[in-house]
Structure 1
Amino acid sequence: MAVTGVMANLPVSDPEVAGRWYALVLGGPPAARPMDGLLEWRPVAGGGVQVWHEPARAGGSGCVLAVDDLDDLAARLTSAGVAHDGPQPGGGARLLVLADPDGNRVVLTGA
């Protein structure tokens, strides 16, 4: 058996509000809405991000995503009004730490 893919699953209280925020962070609308309350982005083959309507668990999750241009993304998010403290060193890489509207932690790492 071999794992051939992985999806980060982030529970949220309002998928439409969260969907707008994730569209800014991930560069576009969800690739799929496979069922009510579920939005999916698939930025890489075999991997992606799911936003799932589960209010009781909203805000208690996180994920780490690697990006190719952290500075460009940080500037784009600043222009869009997404709060952050800018790229910071951490763990041998550069990190941009974000919180979605429910408080889920989204850490972006890259050059």
Structure 2
Amino acid sequence: MTVTTVLAQATVTDLDRAERWYTALFGRGPDSRPMDGLLEWHLTDSAGVQVWREPGRSGRSTVVLAVSDLDAVAAAASAAGTAHDGPEPGGGGRLLRLADPDGNRVVVTGG
């Protein structure tokens, strides 16, 4: 088996509210709406994030993203009104813990 693409997924109750939150996180709207209830952000040629409306499972997802400038992500999150405790040591480097409006964990790692 050869894996060519990986998409992390967060399940949410309110797709419109989630779209606003993830748009602020990524600095742009979704790249694709492949079907009703599903948004996709294509972050690289082989990785991305799906946000899926599934109220019964919402808030139980974890998405981990690696970035080159963690401090810039923290500053952008603060500017967008996303609460967080700032970058902290973890995983052999630094990380930033965020939560979307449904409580899905978004962990951003990087320098």
TM-score, with normalisation over the residues of structure 1?
0.97
Q: Identity rate of aligned residues, in percent?
A: 60
CA distance in 2, matches of 1:6, 1:96: 21
Q: Which residue of 1 aligns with 2:79?
A: 79
For structure 1, the residue ranges without an aligned partner over 5 or more in a row are: none
CA distance in 2, matches of 1:3, 1:91: 25
Matched, 1:21 2:21: yes
User: CA deviation digits over 1:37-84, x for unaligned, max 9?
Assistant: 100001111110000000000001111001111101111111111100
AA aligned to 1:2 is T
Q: Which residue of 2 aligns with 1:93?
A: 93
Q: Which residue of 1 aligns with 2:70?
A: 70
CA distance in 2, matches of 1:73, 1:16: 22
SS in 1 for 2:50: strand
AA aligned to 1:18 is A
Q: Which residue of 2 aligns with 1:7?
A: 7
Paired residue total = 111
The 5-angstrom pairing of residues 42-61 of structure 1 reads 42-61=42-61
Runs of 4+ more than 2 Å apart: none
TM-score, with normalisation over the residues of structure 2?
0.97
RMSD: 0.7
